[in-house]
A and B are shown apart, each in its own frame.
Chain A
Amino acid sequence: MIKISGQVTNYKCPSCTGPLKFSSESGKLECEYCENIYDVATIDSLYEDKGKAAAGAKEPEWNIGEAGSPWSEMEAQGLKVYNCPSCGAEIICDETTAATSCLYCGNPTIVPGQLGGNLKPDYAIPFKLNKEAAIEALNKHYKGKFLLPKLFKTENNINEIKGIYVPFWLFDCDTDAYIEFRGQKVRVYRSGDYEITETSHYKMTREGEVCFEKIPVDGSTKMADEYMDAIEPFNYNELVPFSTAYLPGYFADKYDVDAGESVERANVRIKNSTIDTFASTLQGYTSWSVKNTDIDMKHGDVKYALLPVWLLTTKWRNKIYTFAMNGQTGKLIGDLPYSKLKLMAVLFGTWFGSTMLTLLILKALGMV
């Protein structure tokens, strides 16, 4: 694993020094210029040696005290400035950006410090699908949507498409649960001229354990929760120990919602699914409800992972539409606009058509 210390890192091809990009197809680092392909582990170890050498080297002394002016407090809070190691241009990004591309030379770049220290992710799932797959998925997403305005497909252009490693907290936890339900069994029978309804009430208690593994909660305020929740699930079989070598060519954010703040969202999901799991053992009840729960969560463990997400934004009639695709499974989600005129037309058509059909059937049955 490499250590990043105050310096912007971009991986260079050991043969031609061209920038290396992580390829979602091959799962390796590829040079666009000499077309050499390298294992993540190879580049990792190469840069580890380089890092050690750099730590020993002496920095030239420059009088830089007079250059530039201090950032205003607000700017300093939100923005960070780095130099592109390839062309020297300034890269300005916000404080949660961990990987980006140079605006001038397009070099994929990892921003130092952001993923270092105690912020270092435990796992990552490398991108498996590329930009083209995301565009194809978006076009597929438009298909079969009757209410989608016709012009949305033609007038609307993809504004931006970004592959982002989104920070996720993965929660592991065992629950010890005691759940008390109330249930009803209803029996309806006829006695003489009366219909008797007999409702028997029961108290059901269930006690036991159930364990949860890697419930994902996104740790980035930039990513809407309903988007990140909807592209679940990820296939954890492809979870690998984190390496920055997976990042070149993509954006990466560090978390800005810590595990402590995210735990509440995980707790809600654990509680609901614990109740569901125990409720699946209730047999023969007409209806039931939860009366009391005592769910003890223990052996809670949180891991930090970067998971691949393609984010697509399109603009149509001055409104931005955002879509997110799971960079591993290809599941694409995003709310679409609908044509009110089409909705009215289809509602009226359905109502009119089905009324006519009903009348015809009734007439055939001799009821009208």
Chain B
Amino acid sequence: MKKKISIIILLLVLFSIIMPSHIYGVSGDLDNVTDAAGLLSENERLDLDKKAAELSELYECDIIVITVEDKGEMHIETFAQAVYDEYDLGYGGDNNGIMLIISMAERDYDIMAHGYGNIAFTDYGKKKLGKEFLPDLSDGNYHESFSIFIDSCGRYLKLARDGKPIDVDSDPDKANKIAAIVALVLPLLLTVIIGYVLKKQMKSTKIQTKAKEYVKEGSFNLKNQKDEYLHTVTTQRKIKSESSGGTSVNSNGSSHSSGKF
């Protein structure tokens, strides 16, 4: 076991030194949107880059999109971390940032947050963010997908700046959904009840099917009673595990949400 771990560590170190700059062949600073896999036209890239740069400046947290053809053997999260470190990505001294990195070879993606990004993009937030842009990414609508990612990041950052980062208990969309259901169902229920009560007032004739009033007082004599246990049926239902919210930050000071698209 120990041997295995040390081999992995060695590989990681090697990759982290050699791979990233090797893949890009780019030196110096990266733009907000770097398309090494060639998924976007230059115009599209410039358009996205401009939008991402503006939002990054506004919220002092870099929004980064990177595409590569093949990340190599590394795990996508390790790869993302290596790139982030190698190019010294992120805003300011704390390297605040949120990065989407995709590798086309095995269709991997990773959403990585660092510094202030960890506050704005909680574990729940990153998952939710994934749901927003992944359908387009899977369909090959790259420009659309990245555009959604950048816009969503802007929205998440704004909410975080307002002191309400999206999390399990503070998802405005979830609250909106609940509010919409309440606003729809409650008045409808009230209307039905009031209509029923008012209409019932108009009808007072009724066939009697019971004779409770005519039970002779004190005549009820219970001679025998027995309650017998027969059997028990047990059913179980898995409870949706609701994480307590927050962000799980690793030893590099980053958090990830990764998968295939």
Contact = CB atoms under 8 A, between A and B. Distances in A.
B239 A190 contact: yes
A226 interface: yes
B230 interface: yes
Contacts of B2: none
B224 A207 contact: yes
A104 interface: no
Contacts of B29: none
B181 to A, nearest CB: 11
A323 to B, nearest CB: 9
B229 to A, nearest CB: 6
Given A198-B234, A206-B224, A224 B202 contact: no
B209 A202 contact: no
B222 interface: yes
Given A229-B208, A276-B212, A368-B179, A197 B230 contact: no
Given A232-B208, A350-B194, A210 B221 contact: yes
Interface string B56-93: 00000000000000000000000000000000000000
B199 A147 contact: yes
Interface residues of A, number: 71
B235 A197 contact: yes
Interface in A289-326: none
A214 B217 CA distance: 13
Interface in B204-261: 204-216, 219-239, 241
A72 interface: no
B198 interface: yes
Nearest to B180: A368
Contact of A147 (B198, B207, B216): B198
B198 A343 contact: yes
A347 B191 contact: yes
A335 interface: yes
Nearest to B227: A204
Contacts of B22: none
B176 interface: yes
B237 A210 contact: no
A277 B220 contact: yes
A338 B214 contact: no
B25 interface: no
Interface hub of A209, A266, A362 (most chain B Cβ within 10 A): A362
Contacts of B198: 146-147, 338, 343, 346
B213 to A, nearest CB: 5
A191 B238 CA distance: 10
Contacts of A273: 210-212, 214-215
B5 interface: no
Nearest to B213: A233
Interface string B87-120: 0000000000000000000000000000000000
Contact of A209 (B205, B207, B219): B219
Interface in B38-63: none
Contacts of A194: 236-239
Given A273-B215, A368-B176, A358 B223 contact: no
B179 A367 contact: yes
A359 interface: yes
Interface string A195-208: 11111111111111
A230 interface: yes
Given A145-B201, A350-B190, A367-B178, A213 B216 contact: yes
B80 to A, nearest CB: 31
Given A197-B236, A351-B187, A343 B195 contact: yes
A337 interface: yes
B1 interface: no
B195 A281 contact: no
Contacts of B219: 174, 209-211
Contacts of A336: 202-203
B42 to A, nearest CB: 42
B30 interface: no
A190 B236 CA distance: 9
Contacts of A232: 208, 213
A267 B58 CA distance: 82
Contacts of B14: none
A230 B213 contact: no
A59 B66 CA distance: 126
Interface string A242-256: 000000000000000
Contacts of B176: 367-368
B237 A195 contact: yes
Interface string A324-368: 000000000111111000010011001111110011001000011
B10 to A, nearest CB: 38
A212 B218 CA distance: 11
B179 A346 contact: no
30 contacts: A147-B202, A193-B239, A198-B234, A200-B229, A200-B231, A201-B233, A202-B228, A205-B224, A205-B225, A206-B225, A207-B225, A211-B219, A212-B211, A212-B216, A227-B205, A229-B205, A230-B206, A230-B208, A268-B209, A277-B220, A278-B222, A334-B205, A338-B199, A338-B202, A346-B194, A347-B191, A351-B187, A352-B187, A354-B187, A362-B183
Task: Return the 8 tightest CB-CB contacts between A and B, nearest first.
Answer: A211-B219, A354-B187, A207-B224, A269-B211, A211-B216, A229-B208, A226-B205, A333-B204
Interface of A: 141, 144-148, 174, 183, 190-191, 193-215, 224-227, 229-230, 232-233, 266, 268-270, 272-273, 276-278, 281, 333-338, 343, 346-347, 350-355, 358-359, 362, 367-368
